[in-house]
Amino acid sequence: MNVTAEKNEKVAQMIFASIYPHYVAKVEKKGRTKEELHTVLTWLTGFDDTQLQQLIADKVTLQTFFDKATLHPNAHLIKGVICGYRIEDITFELYRNTRYMDKLVDELAKGKAMEKILR
């Protein structure tokens, strides 16, 4: 599957604060904690808890969220399929970064060891 420019733009305009509660619910439903979620998000983006909370409060878009982030140098090691897209084949940087985040949250929810999630 290929990501279109329209799909990339739609994701760019999504509000991080609208996605975050779904991430929390997903991991907590599977017995993981909000703190573990923050560990994963911090690893990927470089944001600490205070910065994450501020970005949520500011209702930033995913475009702004990732523009402000410092992506982990090992993020490119996140591979696999998420939502029908092979992550390593996604050419739009924002869309790929969003799928990196989704993949890490999925791995956390599935009970994968933190050492393996944080490549």
The model carries a pTM of 0.92
- Which CATH number do you get for residue 44? 1.10.8.290
pLDDT band at 89 (very low <50, low <70, confident <90, very high): very high
Q: Would you say 68 and 52 are in contact if contact means Cβ atoms under 8 Å apart?
A: no
3-state secondary structure of 27: helix
| Cβ-Cβ contacts under 8 Å for 118 (sequence gap 6 or more) | 39, 40, 43
Tokens of 45: 């983006």
Task: Give buried/exposed letters for 85-97 (b at 16+ CB in 10 A, else e).
Answer: bebeebebebbbb
pLDDT at 29: 97
Range of the domain at 29: 5-117
Domain count along the chain: 1
Which residue bears the tokens 């205070």? 50
Average pLDDT over residues 33-37: 97
Average pLDDT over residues 53-82: 97
pLDDT at 1: 61
